[in-house]
């Protein structure tokens, strides 16, 4: 994994109990940033912290439900109180109701509460903290489902499209304030959320067939892009939905 110079910087990552979020937290810590690890799964979130601290990095865990405004504010406040500032934020928390009937209103609403409203609440609180310390960078997690249609997941599909819209809104709103806002659009990635597929050889092969690179992506491949988007190497990049899908949407 490629590292950048982020000594003295502070990052927070939501949905960091595993998968892309855990890899992102480790990547920021590996680049020298102090990291606030956040998730609704406390035990697994603490595992992420231990993985970082065992490697000599700095990290702390904060329980957070991104669909709850008070919980999100407490997360951002923790970053500032623990490390004195906030420079980078990765809004990665999300849920996937692939096996459910998403036209049921409660399922639809819960999906949007986490996948879309959660990103909005995080951006709002994070930007306020970043403005106080002179700027920063935000990366939201969308999906290739934010770029193409999905006949089986209307709420997830709509929410991930919405994340791209929120990203572009934030990029324009804070462009002159030194805050850059981008998002990543992963294709099929090997994470706990996709275990139901990766445990099936038939389903895994189906995913490979629609991915020109003929393989499943790794969480660290998304994490590397997230860190790059927050780094000085991406200083003129904002409002960008970065597709990382092994060529799936190029077909």
The set of catalytic residues is 156
Residue 231 CA neighbour count, 13 Å, CB half: 18
Contacts of residue 129, defined as CB under 8 A and 6 or more positions apart, other chains included, come to 76, 79, 80, 85, 86
Backbone angles phi, psi at 211, to 5 degrees: -120, 110
CA 116 to each of CA 133, 135, 155, 214, 230: distance values in angstroms, whole numbers, following the listed order: 26, 23, 10, 30, 21
Dihedral of CA atoms 202, 205, 206, 211 in degrees, nearest 10, equals 170
Backbone angles phi, psi at 127, to 5 degrees: -60, -40
Instruction: Decide if 4 contacts 228 (C-beta within 8 A).
Output: yes
Query: Starting at the edge strand that comes first in sequence, how are the strands of the sheet with 34-39 ordered?
Result: 59-63, 34-39, 10-13, 88-91, 136-141, 179-186, 241-244
């Amino acid at each position: 994994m490629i590292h950048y110079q982020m000594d003295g910087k502070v990052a927070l990552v939501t949905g960091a109990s595993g998968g892309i979020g855990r890899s992102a937290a480790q990547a920021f810590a590996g680049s020298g940033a102090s990291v606030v690890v956040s998730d609704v799964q406390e035990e697994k979130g603490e595992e992420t912290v231990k993985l970082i601290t065992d490697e000599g990095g700095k990290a702390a865990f904060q329980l957070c439900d991104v669909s709850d405004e008070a919980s999100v504010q407490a997360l951002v406040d923790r970053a500032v109180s623990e490390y004195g500032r906030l420079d980078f934020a990765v809004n990665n928390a999300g849920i996937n109701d692939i096996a459910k009937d998403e036209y049921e209103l409660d399922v639809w609403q819960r999906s949007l509460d986490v996948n879309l409203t959660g990103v909005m609440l995080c951006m709002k609180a994070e930007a306020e903290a970043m403005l106080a310390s002179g700027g920063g960078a935000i990366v939201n997690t969308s999906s290739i489902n934010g770029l193409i249609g999905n006949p089986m997941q209307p709420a997830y599909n709509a929410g991930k499209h919405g994340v791209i819209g929120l990203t572009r809104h934030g990029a324009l709103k804070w462009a002159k304030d030194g805050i850059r806002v981008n998002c990543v659009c992963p294709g099929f990635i090997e994470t706990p959320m996709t275990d139901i597929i990766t445990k099936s050889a038939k389903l895994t092969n189906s995913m490979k067939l629609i991915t020109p690179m003929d393989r499943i992506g790794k969480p660290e491949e998304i994490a590397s892009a997230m860190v790059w988007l927050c780094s000085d190497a991406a200083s003129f990049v904002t409002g960008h939905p970065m597709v990382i899908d092994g060529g799936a949407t190029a077909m």
